[in-house]
Structure formats: structure tokens, C-alpha cells
């Protein structure tokens, strides 16, 4: 069994769902493989300043907080959000690709670290310096990580990941897929509480065992 979490680093609802996935991973780490893929929500011509989303996010973030329990920090809401900083999913997605070459088992945790850095600490995910701080927690070689963050091969791999997600027909985030070895099943679309996620996965496994 392989659980595939499909997310985007700039997605607010993903920020709320990642802790659920982390709990699910802790519960099933011995019996299930876990992977995380980046969906490429805001790339290429879709890139735009945070300020263009200020009104929407100021309304929506309270819904995310109430439903998921995560908190958005004042540094994000009052400084980064109204700024002309460009929203771009590519660099943090490449950072996740780089991280997976070191510690794939901790990739979901690292994804949440990036989300927290953005949505609570108000740090730019476009800056190399942000990643130096994040990888320090894992004891990774900072200079090497930053060099690889600019590696065209890893950028290409990341964009291939975007294409894979698109080919699966996933255009909204977060989402999760359970690979039973026989078939891929969509087990979460949008934020899903832990108990509902567990029930869905249990139902899929039961159905798969009958096939």
C-alpha cells in the first residue's frame, strides 16, 4: 500500500490538511509507504503578486483556521499578503524534490515546515535564505541543498511531477491517493479530518481485498 499526498506549498487548505496526513503517517508508518507530490497550482502565467489575493485570503483564512486548527500569523496576514511578492509554486516544489533525495521519509514534515514558514512566519519561499533555515532542522548540508535548488535537472523532475498530477485529473488541492498495488483510488479531495480519511482508506482496502 502506498499513500500519495498531492498538495501545493501555497495552498491554504493544504496547510490545514498536512498535519492530518502527518498523523496518518505516524499511525501507519510500519504498514504503508508514504509519498508527497507537488501539484503546481501557481506556476508560469498563473503567477501573480500576493496582493491580488489579499481580499480572498483575508476572508478564507478564518474558515481554514476554524475547520483545521492551524493558525495564520500576523507576519503573513499583515506583511507578506498585502505585498507585491510573487506567488510562485515552483521553487518550494523544487525544494521538496531536493529534500526527497535526502530524507524521503520526512518529506511530508518538511512540506509542513515550508507551509508554516509561509503562512505563520510570513517568510518568502522565493528566497534561498528561507531554505537554509528550514533544512538546518534536519542537519542537511545547507550550501549543497541551495546548489541543488538551482539544478535544472531537479527543476525538470518537479515539472514532470506537476504533469503527472495533471494527467491524473487532479486540479484542486489538497488531495490524496491510495495505491493498493492493483489500482489507484482517490481517498481525499479537499480537507478531510483524520477519522474520515481513515474510514475511507479502510473501505478502499476492504473493497480491494474483495477484488
> pLDDT tens digit string along 73-93?
999 999 999 999 999 999 999
Span 88-101, mean pLDDT?
98
Tell me what pLDDT residue 32 has: 95
Assess whether pLDDT exceeds 80 at residue 211: no
Distant-in-sequence, close-in-space partners of 182: CB < 8 Å, separation ≥ 6: 208, 211
Query: What is the CATH class of 2-210?
Result: alpha beta
Assess whether pLDDT exceeds 90 at residue 195: yes
* Domain locations in the chain as residue ranges: 2-210
Span 111-116, mean pLDDT?
98
Span 107-120, mean pLDDT?
98
> pLDDT tens digit string along 33-77?
999 999 999 999 999 999 999 999 999 999 999 999 999 999 999
Rounded-to-integer distance, Cα 154 and Cα 156, Å: 5
> pLDDT tens digit string along 125-164?
999 999 999 999 999 999 999 999 999 999 999 999 999 9
Q: Mean pLDDT score of the chain, rounded to an integer?
A: 96
What sign for the dihedral angle of Cα 150, 151, 152, 154?
A: negative
What sign for the dihedral angle of Cα 117, 119, 124, 126?
A: positive
Amino acid at each position: 500500500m502506498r499513500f500519495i499526498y498531492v498538495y501545493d506549498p501555497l495552498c491554504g487548505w493544504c496547510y490545514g490538511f498536512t498535519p492530518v496526513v502527518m498523523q496518518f503517517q505516524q499511525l501507519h508508518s510500519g504498514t504503508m509507504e508514504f509519498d508527497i507530490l507537488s501539484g503546481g497550482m501557481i506556476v508560469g502565467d498563473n503567477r501573480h503578486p500576493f496582493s491580488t489575493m489579499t481580499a480572498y485570503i483575508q476572508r478564507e483564512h478564518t474558515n481554514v483556521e476554524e475547520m483545521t486548527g492551524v493558525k495564520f500569523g500576523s507576519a503573513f496576514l499583515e506583511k507578506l499578503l498585502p505585498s507585491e511578492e510573487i506567488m510562485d509554486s515552483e521553487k518550494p516544489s523544487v525544494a521538496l524534490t531536493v529534500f526527497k533525495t535526502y530524507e524521503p521519509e520526512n518529506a511530508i514534515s518538511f512540506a509542513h515546515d515550508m507551509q508554516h514558514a509561509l503562512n505563520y512566519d510570513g517568510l518568502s519561499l522565493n528566497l534561498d535564505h528561507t531554505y537554509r533555515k528550514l533544512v538546518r532542522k534536519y542537519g542537511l548540508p545547507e550550501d549543497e541543498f541551495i546548489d541543488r535548488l538551482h539544478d535544472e535537472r531537479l527543476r525538470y523532475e518537479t515539472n514532470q511531477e506537476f504533469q503527472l498530477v495533471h494527467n491524473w485529473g487532479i486540479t484542486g488541492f489538497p488531495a490524496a491517493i491510495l495505491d493498493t498495488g492493483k489500482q489507484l483510488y482517490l481517498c481525499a479531495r479537499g480537507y478531510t479530518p483524520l477519522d474520515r480519511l481513515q474510514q475511507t482508506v479502510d473501505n478502499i482496502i476492504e473493497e480491494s481485498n474483495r477484488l
